[in-house]
């Protein structure tokens, strides 16, 4: 046996569990000030958070039942109309007070589990970056390869999507973008706001209020999405055979993508920020995603009208859909939970501190001298004989 193997490891302070450690001694003089200090810090912070949240103006209305119950609505909706032929839902709603910019519009979905493990990973990053490589089947299944019988428009004729053969390689047909996330994209089209005349409200001086799509996605998302190189490498007819819109896109946007892709209707994922917002999956089944924003104009009070093209079916997952219009503070949108949590913790600390202080004043407990504890007697502890079984 070599010398290196015969050597025994050194007995370090770590191995012998003799490292120096801080062991606090909880006494009324240390505990009571801590309770009062935490309360004194948390309560003002909580009040500030709560006031900031309370200043955020927000209104929300659910339009799930617009196609089926055109006579039933609740505040702030004052009326709605539904055109079955165009699937347009016209909603009249009241803005109670002036919304100062920036003003944001969101759509809100419930019971939609974007956090499902198969759903979250159902996309191909290389395809979204525009690469010419084939998308990975393990990520995009079951929406990778185009199913048999899917027709596309080639040269004005409807033909089955077949892909293109280059040399010995078969390219396509694939869905673009592939995967479950892209296929299930929110497809309702929400219009800008227009003033509903005849109410005498101040919004009549502002006939339209527009929301811009620009700047609603994270700047880092712009780097994840690029225009596909297939658009420049192949002709319009070959492009239609290789890449096909997801199935729900063909149903939701039949006039645009019902017949497949070509060089004029191919989606520009790099500049389509609403698509980028949707692809950033939510952690909870109830979530809102940004649809547009207005950074400069005030939203005047009065009765407004909005038109929504109803194409996103929430009935298939038993959910609901709503429109949310909101301002923002330095801390974000309207959410009183954080302020309430800080105030609650601060009040609990003060209550406990006062209770312990009263208990200590009425019936104090005599404390021993902590200098006699064993870890304060290193020499005495080292000279004590060890038991036969102690190691």
> pLDDT per residue over 162-204, tens digit each?
888 877 778 878 999 999 999 999 999 999 999 886 554 677 7
Q: Please choose, from the candidates 79, 97, 99, 76, the residue with its C-alpha nearest in 3D space to the C-alpha of residue 89.
A: 79
What average pLDDT is seen over the chain? Answer: 86
Confidence of residue 379 (pLDDT cuts 50, 70, 90): low
What is residue 141's DSSP assignment? T
State the sign of the Cα–Cα–Cα–Cα dihedral 201, 205, 211, 214: negative
**Do residues 282 and 305 share a domain?**
yes
Provide the domain count of the chain: 2
Q: Are 235 and 219 in contact (CB under 8 A)?
A: no
24: part of which helix (H) or strand (E)? none
Mark 275-296 as b/e (b = at least 16 C-beta within 10 Å).
bbbbbebeeeeebbbbbbbbee
**Do residues 119 and 246 share a domain?**
yes
**Do residues 171 and 192 share a domain?**
yes
The answer to whether position 315 is within a domain reads yes
The answer to whether position 387 is within a domain reads no
The answer to whether position 379 is within a domain reads no
Alpha helices in the chain (DSSP H): 3-6, 28-54, 117-120, 125-128, 137-140, 180-183, 219-222, 230-233, 236-242, 247-252, 254-257, 273-279, 337-362, 378-383
Q: Residue 110 and residue 282: Cα distance in Å, rounded?
A: 11
**Do residues 165 and 34 share a domain?**
no
CA-to-CA separations, 270 to 25, 138, 146, 333, in angstroms, rounded: 60, 24, 24, 27
- Of 328, 344, 379, the one marking the end of a domain is 328
The answer to whether position 306 is within a domain reads yes
Q: Which pTM was predicted?
A: 0.81
What is residue 86's DSSP assignment? T
The answer to whether position 31 is within a domain reads yes
The answer to whether position 191 is within a domain reads yes
3-class state of residue 33 by DSSP: helix
**Do residues 259 and 348 share a domain?**
no
Domain that holds residue 160: 58-328
The answer to whether position 69 is within a domain reads yes
The answer to whether position 382 is within a domain reads no
**Do residues 207 and 353 share a domain?**
no
**Do residues 350 and 340 share a domain?**
yes
**Do residues 234 and 348 share a domain?**
no
Residue 385 CB neighbours (<10 A): 6
3-class state of residue 285 by DSSP: coil
pLDDT digits (tens, 9 = 90+) for 115-167: 999 999 999 999 999 998 888 778 888 888 888 778 888 878 888 888 888 77
**Do residues 340 and 284 share a domain?**
no
pLDDT digits (tens, 9 = 90+) for 253-311: 999 998 889 888 999 999 999 999 999 999 999 999 999 999 999 999 989 999 999 99
**Do residues 213 and 352 share a domain?**
no
pLDDT digits (tens, 9 = 90+) for 271-285: 999 999 999 999 999
């Amino acid at each position: 046996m070599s010398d290196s193997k015969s050597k025994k490891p050194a007995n370090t302070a770590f191995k012998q569990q003799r490292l120096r450690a801080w062991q606090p001694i909880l006494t009324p003089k240390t505990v009571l000030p801590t309770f009062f200090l935490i309360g004194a810090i948390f309560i003002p912070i909580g009040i500030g958070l709560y006031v900031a949240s309370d200043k955020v103006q927000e209104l929300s209305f659910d339009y799930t039942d617009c196609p089926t119950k055109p006579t039933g609505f609740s505040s702030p909706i004052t009326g709605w109309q539904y055109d079955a032929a165009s699937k347009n839902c016209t909603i009249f709603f009241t803005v109670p007070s002036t919304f100062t910019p920036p003003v944001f519009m969101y759509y809100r979905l419930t019971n939609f589990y974007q956090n499902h493990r198969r759903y979250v990973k159902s996309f191909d990053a290389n395809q979204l970056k525009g690469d010419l490589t084939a998308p990975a089947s393990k990520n995009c299944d079951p929406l990778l390869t185009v199913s048999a019988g899917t027709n596309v428009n080639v040269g004005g004729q409807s033909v089955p999507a077949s892909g293109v053969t280059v040399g010995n390689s078969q390219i396509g047909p694939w869905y673009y973008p592939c995967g479950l996330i892209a296929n299930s994209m929110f497809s309702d089209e929400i219009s800008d706001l227009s003033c509903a005349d005849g109410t005498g409200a101040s919004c009549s001086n502002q006939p339209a209020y527009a929301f811009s799509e620009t700047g609603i996605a994270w700047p880092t998302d712009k780097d994840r999405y690029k225009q596909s190189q297939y658009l420049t490498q192949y002709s319009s007819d070959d492009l239609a055979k290789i890449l096909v819109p997801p199935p729900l896109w063909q149903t939701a946007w039949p006039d645009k993508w019902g017949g497949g892709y070509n060089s004029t209707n191919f989606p520009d994922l790099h500049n389509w920020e609403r698509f980028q917002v949707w692809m950033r999956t939510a952690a909870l089944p109830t979530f809102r995603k940004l649809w547009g924003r207005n950074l400069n104009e005030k939203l005047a009070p009065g009765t407004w009208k909005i038109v929504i093209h109803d194409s996103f079916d929430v009935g298939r997952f038993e959910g609901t859909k709503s429109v949310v219009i909101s301002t923002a503070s330095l801390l974000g949108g309207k959410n009183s939970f954080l302020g309430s949590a800080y105030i609650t913790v601060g009040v609990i600390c003060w209550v406990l501190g006062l209770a312990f202080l009263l208990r200590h004043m009425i019936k104090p407990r005599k404390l021993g001298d902590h200098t006699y504890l064993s870890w304060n007697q290193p020499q005495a502890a080292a000279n004590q004989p060890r038991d036969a079984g102690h190691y």
